[in-house]
Chain A
Amino acid sequence: MNNYETVFITTPVLSNDEYTRTVKKFTELIEKAGGKVLHQEDWGIKQLAYPIQKKTTGFYTLLQFEVDTQFIRKFEVEFKRDENIMRFLTTRLDKYALAYAEQRRNKLSGKSKKAEV
């Protein structure tokens, strides 16, 4: 069971529920394979630094999850097959990266908590 982090960009043409459906598809894939999604982050529509597939904006999503290693190959084939996904990048998290992600999440949730108070 290794820790992984995937950032992927979906085309801005999608409607909102289509977008959530594609994201849910991948989270379910992870759960079915016995993994666990630790954290999901939507950065919303962001400007791309260079046009991808003739589009200059995209929905960014971050998925941090824990799954065993054989599943990653199938997971990435699934990304390639889905035509709504413009680009994806899966990285393995070592202990420093994991600590950083933890700290980043607290900072983010800390901010939202502060906003609520």
Chain B
Amino acid sequence: MATQDEIKFLNAPKIGSNKKKYCRFKKSGIKYIDYKDPQFLLKFVNEQGKLLPRRLTGNSLKYQRKISQAVKKARHLAILPYVTDLLK
């Protein structure tokens, strides 16, 4: 059986280094999230049209709440669907 140190990976395993997450709104200084343009909101919604959690989008709490409010307004106005498949 190959002992632990004999196993060589082709490239270094990426377990250790994860990308430092940052809040895109603080970095780019966006202050208002518009509920009327779907292109921007689609970045925060998965294929079924559900909101992505903060740990995936990397948003800070304040802007994640603004995003969820904007998405819910867009859904009310039928700009975004409540539930669908293959949204993207």
Say whether B34 contacts A104, CB under 8 Å.
yes
Say whether B78 contacts A52, CB under 8 Å.
yes
Q: Does B22 contact A (CB under 8 A)?
A: no
List chain B residues, Cβ under 8 A from A58: 78
Say whether A91 contacts B34, CB under 8 Å.
no
Task: State how many angstroms separate the Cβ of A49 from the closest Cβ of chain B.
Answer: 4
Say whether A96 contacts B31, CB under 8 Å.
yes
Say whether A91 contacts B73, CB under 8 Å.
yes
Say whether B76 contacts A89, CB under 8 Å.
yes
Residue of B nearest to A91 (CB): B73
Number of residue pairs A-B, CB distance < 8 angstroms = 37
Contact with B along A19-47 (1 / 0, CB 8 A): 00000000000000000000000000000
Which DSSP category, helix, strand, loop or mixed, fits chain A's interface? strand
Q: Does B67 contact A (CB under 8 A)?
A: no
Task: State how many angstroms separate the Cβ of B25 from the closest Cβ of chain A.
Answer: 11
Say whether A49 contacts B34, CB under 8 Å.
no
Contact with A along B54-88 (1 / 0, CB 8 A): 00000000000000000001011111111010000
Say whether B76 contacts A49, CB under 8 Å.
no
List chain B residues, Cβ under 8 A from A60: 77
Say whether B36 contacts A62, CB under 8 Å.
yes
Chain B, 4-55, CB within 8 A of any chain A CB: 31-32, 34-36
Q: A7-B36, A100-B32 are in contact. Are A87 and B76 (CB under 8 A)?
A: yes
Residue of A nearest to B66 (CB): A96
Task: State how many angstroms separate the Cβ of B39 from the closest Cβ of chain A.
Answer: 14
Residues of A within 8 A of B (CB): 7, 9, 48-50, 52, 58, 60, 62, 87, 89, 91, 94, 96-97, 99-100, 104
List 5 A–B pairs whose Cβ atoms lie within 8 Å, in order of A's numbering. Answer: A49-B78, A52-B78, A58-B78, A96-B31, A99-B31
Closest 10 CB pairs of A and B: A49-B81, A48-B78, A96-B32, A96-B31, A100-B32, A49-B78, A97-B32, A50-B81, A89-B77, A7-B77
